[in-house]
Structures are given as C-alpha cells and as structure tokens.
Amino acid sequence: MTDVELGRLPLPLAALRALAAGAGIVLAPDWPRALEASAATIAGIVASGRVVYGVNTGFGALATTTIPAEQLSELQRRLVLSHSAGTGAELPPAIVRLILSLKINGLLKGFSGVRPAVVQALHDLLARGVLPCIPEKGSVGASGDLAPLAHLAAVLIGEGEARLAGERMPAGDALRRAGLAPLALAPKEGLALLNGTQVSTAIALAALFRAENGLASALVTGALAVDAAKGSDTPFDPRIHAVRGHRGQSLVAAIQRRLLAGSRIRESHLDCGRVQDPYSLRCQPQVIGACLDAIRHAAEILVIEANAASDNPLVFEGDAVLSGGNFHAEPVAFAADHLALAIAEIGALSERRIALLTDPALSRLPAFLVVNPGINSGFMIAHVTAAALASANKSLAHPASVDSLPTSANQEDHVSMATHAARRLHDMLDNTETILAIEWLAAAQGIEFHAPHQTSPPLREAHDRLREIVPSFVEDRYLAPDIAAALAKLREGALRTLVTEDILS
C-alpha cells in the first residue's frame, strides 16, 4: 500500500480511505515552513507580554486568568493531564492511527502555532508503532474532542498509556522501547493538540467506509433477492429514473440492471402475469439511491473536516491570533446523523426482503426457504434476528446533533455530540451488516429453488462466493455459524467487488 503524503494540500477521499485501511504517511518536503512561521508568531507574543487566549491565559471558563511566562510550559502540561478524563473501551488501533494522521494533517496547515517538533513527534509515534490508548467516551464535540485528544497528547509527554506491538503499557515505557523521548510542550501546543475534531472525524470516516461497503453489498443482495422472488427488472428501466432526476437513484437502478442482466430466471417468467412487486424489491433505486446521496453528502463534509484547521485560537499572517469556534463539530455531527439514516434504511429494506423471501404467499418459494417445512423451520428465526437488528437501528438513528448539554461553567453552552454521533454508527453498521449477511444466505437459498434456471453471471458469482464457505440449507442445522461466516465474508468486501462502479464519486 502506497504511503499518503501529508502537507498543506488537501487530502482527497481516496487518500483518506487509504489511511483508514492502514496506509502509512510521509511528510511533504517543505512541511516545516508554515509551522515555523506560526510558531515564531507565538514566541513573539510570549516575549512581548501580550495577553492572548490559550497562549498565556487559562482555558474555557478560566480564560480571563493570565499566566506568568515562567509557567507557560507547565500550563500546557497541566492542561493535557487535567483533560485526560476519558472513559470506556479503547478506540481500535486502526481508528487511533487515523486520528494521529488527521491531527498531523490539521497541524500541517500552519495555523496552529506549534513548532515542527510537535508534528515530528506525532509522526514518530506512527512510524514506531506507538499508539495512544484513547478511551472512546468523554467528548461532547465542542472545544474539540478534548478528552480523547488529551489521552493522545499525554503519550507525547510521557504520560498515560500506549500500545506497542499490541502490548498495553505506560506511555513512558512505550516511548523508551521505541527509542523516543517525551516532548516538552511550548506555549499553545497543548491546546493545539487538544482542540480539534480529529477523533469524531476519524470515527465517522471509518463508519463512512463501512457504509460504502454495506451499501454496495446491499445492491448485490437486493438484486439476488429480486431473482429469488422472481421479481421484475422493469422498475430499473432508466427512463423511470431519468424523469425524477436524483443522481443516486439513477446509479442504483443502473447497477441493478447490470447485476440482473442475463438472468435465465428472469427470462423464465417474462409472461407470468404478475403486475407489480412489493416495494422492497421495486423501490430499491428510490430508497437505496436516497441512502447513497446521503452517504455522498456525508463524505463531502468529512473530507472538508479532515483537511481543516479546527483548533483555537488560530494564527494568521501579521501576528494575528484569532479566537473563534472551528473546534465545534456540528458539521461532523450532522454528517454522522445523515449516515445513521442511510445505514438504518439499508438494513430496514434488506429486512423487508428477507421477510418477503421467507413468506410463501409473497415469494412463492417453500415456507422459510426450506424443503419439508414443519419439521424444518428454515430461516424463520434468522428473519426474526434481522427484524430485531433493524428495530434496534431505529432507536440508534435518532439524531445525536439535536442534543446538547452546556459544559465548562456555561462557557461552552452549546455542544455538537459529534463523537457520540459517529461512535454509534459502528453499532448500527454491525446490525445492518448482519442483516445483509442473512439476506445473502436467504437469497442464495432462494435462487437454488429455481434450478435448472440460473441467475445472471455476476449474481452467480455472489452465490458461489457464499457457497465456498456455507453449504446449501437442506435441513435444519445450527445456523449461527452460517450467519457469522457470511458476515465475515461480506465485511471482507466479497460483494463490494461485484459493484465495479465508484459509488461515492
């Protein structure tokens, strides 16, 4: 995997996807230049005695307290320690690596007033495999992701805990084993590390890429369900979608036309007399297309945020140090909420197709997709599981961004809840991916009842990839391992690779 270059130029979505997948980073050749200029501005302010928030004052509700010059380094150290108040399980290593990359990327824009030594120290953590232990809970998504980023910054100064080669240990030990030394923070550097939306953005980006895989997988399982139920491909006719005009809808219809093209099952019932299919089959372009448009919008927002200078105050030319609110993660919270709606609806529509396939009155297949129903229950409870997960997603999809609790003695009187908004997406994706895995099992079982007629070549490939790991369902058996195997294969991208279109472009 090619390394991603970080510098002042913005990273495109493809580079962020590579970072999320584990790509390394390299720093652009001229990377220190912008940092040196803004760090010199901060040094000049300290030398002049000019009072500037975050440089020589307290923080938050303590912003009116001026700090003497001889205590400024200790001020930054204590800021990091006091803000390391997160709780809950550790964020996964892949997300921690992405957070580190995004923090470096934000600082490299040159508006944060940090020395090149700070970026070099963050780069060294990544390069040597020292990953801060960051608790997943504790951020309200305003003034940045303060608590989780404090746990990151603590490792730089030799405090807190980190993982090295998978082993959890005190940060000082991890630095020593990696051949690194703790960093002494200069004025403003602790604040620059703690302010910022990199945690919520990284968690949301990881969810975005999982949602991309989930949506593509749903296009395949949905097409497979159409053939299993002997549904019509007429609802995917491009003329229908052209007159409505939604981009995602038209693309979904085009993909499903391609996936179904050449199906002998479809040819076998062209004159069957059925007029219309249930909505879960024929309205896939309208529903999944809307989900795709929502995911695309979220991607646009998250790309902007991943390239943003989101700490406070910011340093500009002419010794201007401006205090604002770029740390407020409302855009990330909104993007995560949009993703939540899409993830919930992808799962909801899939659950309805499973219900259709297992109901002989609708599918005209054997009850619960098994021969000898009665002594065999088939996919009866697999559908119940899918229904339970789809219902759970309804609650999780409630917008997090509409919630707010004031903090810091009402100085931070409106917050975004972006980190929670992003974090809950992964629980929702666990649910939706499992629903899709169950649909894959059910639809593959369904098309086998139409032998000797075969489905289309790409859908045969989807069927065959499943049968490599899960045999046909002949009679009742312990079903949980089948679902787990299909889920693992789906998460690996076994269905995503059958959708050759770049759905997020």
pLDDT tens, 130-170? Answer: 999 999 999 999 888 999 999 999 999 999 999 999 999 99
16/67: higher pLDDT: 16
- Beta strand extents in 247-331 (DSSP E only): 314-316, 320-322
Does pLDDT of 236 surpass 90?
yes
Instruction: State the average pLDDT over residues 446-454.
Output: 97
pLDDT for 393 equals 98
pLDDT of residue 63: 76
Could you tell me the pLDDT band of residue 240, with boundaries at 50, 70 and 90? very high
Return the pLDDT at 255: 98
pLDDT at 411: 76
Query: Could you read off the pLDDT of 74-122 as tens digits, one per residue?
Result: 999 999 999 999 999 999 999 999 999 999 999 999 999 999 999 999 9
Specify the DSSP element, H or E, that contains 27: strand 25-27
Q: What is the pLDDT of residues 337-396, one digit of tens each?
A: 999 999 999 999 999 999 999 999 999 999 999 999 999 999 999 999 999 999 999 999
Q: What is the pLDDT of residue 172?
A: 98
- Supply 226's token pair: 């159409």
- Collapsed DSSP state (helix, strand, coil) of residue 240: helix
Q: Full-prediction pTM beyond 0.95?
A: yes
What is the per-residue pLDDT for 98? 98
At residue 501, the 3 state secondary structure works out as coil
Structure confidence at residue 407 as a pLDDT band (50, 70, 90): confident
List C-alpha distances in Å: 460 to 105, 219, 354, 441, 495: 44, 14, 19, 13, 12
Question: What long-range pairs does 233-240 form, CB within 8 A, spacing at least 24?
Answer: 233/257, 233/260, 233/263, 233/266, 235/277, 235/281, 235/282, 235/283, 235/284, 235/285, 236/260, 236/285
Percent of the chain with pLDDT over 90: 89
C-alpha 336/C-alpha 252 separation (Å) is 22
298 pLDDT exceeds 80? yes
Residue 195 confidence (pLDDT): 92
How much is the pLDDT for 409? Answer: 75
Active site residues: 53
The answer on pLDDT for 412 being more than 90 is: no
Q: Which amino acid is at 60?
A: G
d(CA 52, CA 337): 36
